[in-house]
Amino acid sequence: MRTMEAVIFVGVQGAGKSTFYRRHFFDTHVRINLDMLRTRHREKLLLEACLEAGQSFVVDNTNPTAADRARYAIPARERRFRVLSYFFDVDLPDAVRRNQQRLGLQNIPVAAVAGTFRKLQPPAIEEGFDRIFTVRVIEEKNEFVVTEGR
**Is 90 exceeded by the pLDDT of residue 55?**
yes
Which pLDDT does position 2 carry in this prediction? 65
Q: Which CATH class is domain 5-148?
A: alpha beta
With beta carbons less than 8 A apart as the criterion, state whether 69 and 132 touch. no
Write the pLDDT tens digit of every residue in 8-29: 999 999 899 999 999 999 999 9
Which pLDDT does position 73 carry in this prediction? 97
Would you kindly state where each structural domain of the chain is located, as residue ranges?
Answer: 5-148
Write the pLDDT tens digit of every residue in 60-94: 999 999 999 999 999 999 999 999 999 999 999 88
Write the pLDDT tens digit of every residue in 91-117: 998 888 887 777 666 677 888 888 999
Which pLDDT does position 105 carry in this prediction? 62
Closest listed residue to residue 33, CA positions, set 41, 44, 24, 43: 43
Which pLDDT does position 3 carry in this prediction? 87
16: left (phi over 0), alpha (psi -120 to 50) or beta: left
**Is 70 exceeded by the pLDDT of residue 59?**
yes
Contacts by residues 142-146 (CB-CB < 8 Å, ≥ 24 positions apart): 144/16, 144/20, 144/23, 144/24, 146/86
